[in-house]
Amino acid sequence: MADTYPVPAVWAEGARVDVGGRAALSAQAEADPTGFWLKQARRLDWIVPPTVADESSFEEADFDIRWFADGQLNVAANCIDRHLSDRGDAVALIWEPDDPAEEARRYTFRALHQEVNRFANVLKAEGVGKGDRVTIYLPMIPEAAFAVLACARIGAIHSVVFGGFSPDALAGRITDCDSRLVVTADEGRRGGKRIPLKANVDAAAERVPGLTRVIVVRATGAEVPMAERDRWYHELAADVSADCPAEPMAAEDPLFILYTSGSTGKPKGVLHTSGGYLLWASLTHEWCFDYRPGEVWWCAADIGWVTGHSYILYGPLANGATTLMFEGLPTWPDASRIWQVVDRHQVTTLFTAPTALRALMKEGDAFVTATDRSSLKLLGTVGEPINPEAWRWYHDVVGAGRCPIIDTWWQTETGGAMIAPMPGATALKPGSATLPLPGVAPALVDEKGTVLEGAAEGNLLITRSWPGQMRTVWGDQDRFFQTYFTTYRGSYFTGDGCRRDADGYYWITGRVDDVINVSGHRMGTAEVESALVLHPKVAEAAVVGMPHVVKGQGIYAYVTLNAGVAADDALRSELVQWVRREIGAIAAPDALQFAPGLPKTRSGKIMRRILRKIAEGDVSSLGDTSTLADPAVVDDLVANRVG
C-alpha cells in the first residue's frame, strides 16, 4: 500500500523486538497475564518481589485498580542507585540551557545520586515524610529532576505544576492536595524571557493559609523578596549530607499527583503509584524506543506534563539512559534550535509533539537541512493526532527518510504509551498510532456501548487494567469511578474517538468530550468558561475547540456581556488577558466573539454542536435549529463570526 512504511531492514534485523517478537509478547500477555506481568516486573529492582500481578476490577461492586500489591521497591533507587555499580560514571542527565551561548551541564548517575540525596535530606529536614505532598513549581532546570526524584526517594508524593500556570491555578492545586511545602525558583527562563515563578508563588500563598514552607532554587539570580516561610535551597543544602537511604515503598504507595483538565471546571489530581507506573514507563520506553546504552535520549516535553514525568525522568532513568532536559524553546533564537541541540549532544532519539513540528515546518526546510542530524535513529511524537503532512515532513526532512516515526497514543491517566509502534516490529502509516502494545486491550463502541468489530469507528475504551493505569483522583475515588467507568460499564472510557482500519490499525480522531487539545495540552472548556464569567462585565460564556494550523486545536470563546456593556476590541483583548492571568497562557482564547445570546434549547441547555460548527467555519451544515428557544441567535452568531 502506498501510504504504508515497512520496517526498515536495519530495524528488522537489529531491533530488540521484531514482528514475531511483538506478536509473541501480545499472545503471552493474553494467554497467561499473571505470568507475563510478573516476568516483565523483574526488569525492576524489588526490595520484596511481587507474587501477585493484576488484582483490578472495573466493576462498581469491587472497583479497584491494584498491581503487584505485595511487592516493595523504591522508585528513585530503581532510577539511580541500581545503575551505580555498572554505569556510575555514565551520564544520566544532560541539561541544555535556554541560551545556546551557555554551557550545557552533565550529571553522571553518581552525581545525580548525590544531588538527589541532598535534596531528599533538605526535604526531610523540613519535616517532609512518606505520604506528604510536595508541590514542585520549577522551570526546566536540573533541580526539577532532583526535586522529583528526592520525593520518590523519601516516599513523599510530588505534584508538579507546570510553570506556565497562573498563581490562581497554582493555589488551587496546592490546596486540593493539601501540600504544605512548595519548591520553586526565583525565576524561569524560556526563549530569552523571564517567568516570575517566585512572585507567582507569593501571590498563590496569599490564598493558601496551609502553605508553611517555600524552598527557592536560585536559577537566574534575580532579586526576589524572601518572606518568613521562604528558604533558599542552596543554604539548606549546605547543611545536609549527601547520603539518604531510599525508603522502602509498597508497590501501591502513591508516587505522584498530576493535575489534568476534564469536562468540569475543576482540574483533577491524577494519582499514580510506584510499582506499576514505573514498570509501564520503563517497559514502554524500551518497547517503543529500543534504547541502547550510550545513546542520548531526548524527550522535548516539560516536566510539568505527564510526558516529562514518564519520558524525561522515570522511564529512561529506570532504563539507565542518558536523558536530555531542555530549558528553552524550539523556535528560539531561531527555528534551527532543536536540530542544533540534536547535533551538539548527538541525540539518538527525539520525542516531541506535532504542534512543535508544525510550528517548525512553516519556517521552511533550510533551518533543518543546515544541520547534520546523522546521530538520529528514531523520531517520536505524542500528545495529539499528527497530520500526515507533518508526519511526512518529520520522516522525510528531519529524519532524511532513515528514522521510523513512533507515534504514541496515551494520556495522563495511562501513565505511558498504550497504542504505538515498535521500530523493529511495526509497519507505519502516517497519522496512525498503529497497534495496541502487548497487554493493552482496546475496544471501539458505538454510542449505545455496543462493541464494534473489525474496521469501525467509535469511542475508544480500554477493557482491562494495565500496570500504568491511574489509581484514583486524589481525594475523590467516586469522581474517578464516575468519570471513567460509568459511560460504558465495566470499561475505562478514554474520552477519545477512534477509527480502526482493515489492518487493525488505530487512528485517533480526537476528544469526544468537552476537552480541547491545544498544542498537545488538555484544556477543559468549562475551566475557560469559569474564568471568563469571573470577569465583572461578562454574563455568560461558552467555549469550544476550533481547528488551528499550528496548535491542532485553538480555543474559541463566545461571550455574552452584561446589559449596557459596550463590546469593543479593547474589551476583547482585556478578556483574553484575563483568562491568561486566571489560568495561564495555554488557556488564552485564540478567538473571542461577543454574542448577544447563545443557542439554547427550551430547557436552557447550550447547543455546543452549533457553536462548534460556527467556530469551525462550517456554517452550511448547522443541522436542525428548530428546537432552539430563539433560533434567531444563530443568524447573529454566523454573521459575526471572528477569524
Q: Please give the residue ranges that form the binding site for ligand WT7 (CB under 6 A).
A: 260, 305-307, 382-385, 407-412, 433, 494-496, 508, 510-511, 517, 520-522
Residue 385 annotated as binding site = yes
Q: Closest distance between ligand WT7 and the C-beta of residue 507, in Å?
A: 9
Query: Cβ atoms within 10 A of the Cβ of 101, count?
Result: 6
Strand pairing report for 506-511 and 492-500 = antiparallel
Q: Closest distance between ligand WT7 and the C-beta of residue 474, in Å?
A: 15
Do 538 and 559 meet the contact criterion of CB atoms below 8 Å apart? Answer: yes
Looking at the Cβ atoms of 309 and 572, the one nearer to ligand WT7 is 309
Q: Closest distance between ligand WT7 and the C-beta of residue 366, in Å?
A: 28
For residues 527, 531, 537, 538, the Cα torsion angle rounded to the nearest 10 degrees is 0
Looking at the Cβ atoms of 492 and 558, the one nearer to ligand WT7 is 492
Closest by alpha carbon to 288, among 373, 429, 382, 412?
Answer: 382
Residue 408 annotated as binding site = yes
Looking at the Cβ atoms of 135 and 517, the one nearer to ligand WT7 is 517
Looking at the Cβ atoms of 295 and 413, the one nearer to ligand WT7 is 413
Residue 383 annotated as binding site = yes
Q: Closest distance between ligand WT7 and the C-beta of residue 629, in Å?
A: 33
| Omega before 333 within 30 of 0, i.e. cis | yes
How many angstroms separate the CA atoms of 289 and 272, rounded? 23
Looking at the Cβ atoms of 259 and 594, the one nearer to ligand WT7 is 259
Q: Closest distance between ligand WT7 and the C-beta of residue 335, in Å?
A: 23
Do 552 and 518 meet the contact criterion of CB atoms below 8 Å apart? Answer: yes
For residues 285, 287, 288, 294, the Cα torsion angle rounded to the nearest 10 degrees is 60
Residue 193 annotated as binding site = yes
Residue 553 annotated as binding site = no
Angle at 514 between CA 609 and CA 588, to 5 degrees: 100
Looking at the Cβ atoms of 121 and 411, the one nearer to ligand WT7 is 411
Q: Closest distance between ligand WT7 and the C-beta of residue 494, in Å?
A: 6
Residue 349 annotated as binding site = no
How many angstroms separate the CA atoms of 309 and 393, rounded? 27
Residue 191 annotated as binding site = yes
Residue 13 annotated as binding site = no
How many angstroms separate the CA atoms of 110 and 390, rounded? 40
Q: What is the DSSP string of 109-174?
A: HHHHHHHHHHHHHHHHHTT--TT-EEEEE--SSHHHHHHHHHHHHHTPEEEE--TTB-HHHHHHHH
Q: Closest distance between ligand WT7 and the C-beta of residue 106, in Å?
A: 27
Looking at the Cβ atoms of 373 and 522, the one nearer to ligand WT7 is 522
Tell me the three cell numbers of residue 352. 516531541
Residue 533 annotated as binding site = yes
Residue 192 annotated as binding site = yes
| Cβ-closest position to ligand WT7 | 412
Q: Closest distance between ligand WT7 and the C-beta of residue 214, in Å?
A: 27
Looking at the Cβ atoms of 10 and 549, the one nearer to ligand WT7 is 549
The CA-atom distances, in angstroms, between 21 and each of 17, 131, 221 are 5, 40, 52
Residue 67 annotated as binding site = no
Q: SS3 sequence, 389-451?
A: HHHHHHHHHHCCCCCCEEEEECCHHHCCCCECCCCCCCCECCCCCECECCCCCEEEECCCCCE
Residue list, annotated binding site: 190-193, 307, 383-385, 407-412, 496, 511, 519, 522, 533, 535, 538, 580
Residue list, annotated binding site for Mg(2+): 533, 535, 538
Residue list, annotated binding site for ATP: 383-385, 407-412, 496, 511, 522
